[in-house]
Amino acid sequence: MLIILRSHADQETIDRVVEQIEKLKMQAHISQGEYRTIIGALGDETPIQPDQFLAIDGVAKVVPIMQSFKLAGRDFCPEDSIIEVSGVKVGRGHYAWIGGPCTVESRESSLDIAAAVRRCGANMMRGGAFKPRTSPYSFQGLGEEGLKILSECREKHHLPVVTEVMDPREVELVCKYADMIQIGARNMQNYSLLVEVGKANKPVLLKRGPSASVKNWLLSAEYVLSNGNKDVILCERGSQSFETDTRFTLDVGAIAVAKRDTHLPVIVDPSHAAGRWNLVEPLTLAGLAAGADGIIVEVHNCPEKARCDGPQALTEKRFSELMKHARALVNVLGKQ
Ligand code: PEP
Ligand code: MN
């Protein structure tokens, strides 16, 4: 249920509405726009009678929320949200330009790559310390040592870092080092992990599962939001399909649908969709043209020696070209 207040309603009205919501054993979520405050009452709606709210002076309207993803949807928050990652804004014309290795491999290579992506204009760095690998025999990442290396990259190159968390028991550890925590595609529907990051005090980058619908993706975001964490950025990274020339099929339609249905920023990961470096730039541009609020791209100082995902990694030179073209595109779109 949405309780829409009259324009410029005062704090006392807000407090009375929140008190009434809590009396009904529901949760209140406040969305304060420039002119109007909307308060969402979340939980079992059966005991609600609109009159219980309409009787409060300052309440304009009481309407049901139609979308099942109540907090992620635009019913509750019609305007695009801006999410801040350690000072870097994302959304509503602010772009995330994220580059870095698939996996943190060593201190030297990570510092080199951090310097390179920074030179190319990236405003965040990516790198996995806990890696979800298909085979248990593949390199699983450096764990906490990798997180420490990422921290050093942040300090030296002034780049907030984003890294994946796979296990609810490791959320606290990853939050100690990361500026944004990534939920990988394979974990999009790991609900106990979503609940845990929902309680964390760090922005979450939520990747879309390879065979998840946009609706289920937004419901996963709802898990994080409804547990108290309002800072969610979505990431399209390609779906499983019959195509074999690309690793996954980048679903640009899903970016447009997500942008229509949610106020949260949506970014594109062209690297995992492409699987090959020479397809990364066209997919980046397609994602941005479809409305993405940023990119997350794999970059390596020596792709042929990368321990993971080398064939899709860009060199500094290629990433620099991509960044030029991506910036030119968003200027043409009149968005930056
Ligand atoms: C990654 O970002 O390195 C990764 C494993 O991505 P995904 O979860 O999209 O496969
Ligand atoms: Mn990768």
Answer for the pair 116, 299: CB distance below 8 angstroms, yes or no. yes
User: Structural domains in the chain?
Assistant: 2-63 (3.30.70.1140), 83-333 (3.20.20.70)
Cα separation of 103 and 110, whole Å?
9
Average of per-residue pLDDT across 112-128: 98
Answer for the pair 140, 115: CB distance below 8 angstroms, yes or no. no
- Residue whose Cα lies nearest atom 10 of ligand 1: it is 185
Kindly indicate the confidence band of residue 32, based on its pLDDT and cuts at 50, 70 and 90. Answer: confident
The rounded Å distance from CA 164 to ligand 1 centre is 8
Residue 222, H or E segment: helix 214-226
Q: State the pTM of this model.
A: 0.94
Kindly indicate the confidence band of residue 150, based on its pLDDT and cuts at 50, 70 and 90. Answer: very high
- Residue whose Cα lies nearest atom 6 of ligand 1: it is 184
Cα separation of 87 and 153, whole Å?
16
pLDDT, residue 305, reads 97
CA angle at residue 162 from 264 to 199, to 5 degrees?
Answer: 60
The rounded Å distance from CA 207 to ligand 1 centre is 8
Q: What are the C-alpha distances in Å from 223 to residues 9, 182, 229?
A: 30, 15, 9
Average of per-residue pLDDT across 235-248: 98
pLDDT tens figures, 193-230: 999 999 999 999 999 999 999 999 999 999 999 999 99
**Is a pLDDT exceeding 70 seen at residue 118?**
yes
Kindly indicate the confidence band of residue 101, based on its pLDDT and cuts at 50, 70 and 90. Answer: very high
Using a pLDDT cut of 70, give the percent of the chain over it: 100
Hey, which of 103, 126, 182, 250 would you mutate to test ligand 1's pocket, going by the most ligand atoms within 8 Å of its Cβ?
182
Residue 21, H or E segment: helix 11-23
pLDDT, residue 76, reads 85
DSSP single-letter state for residue 87: T
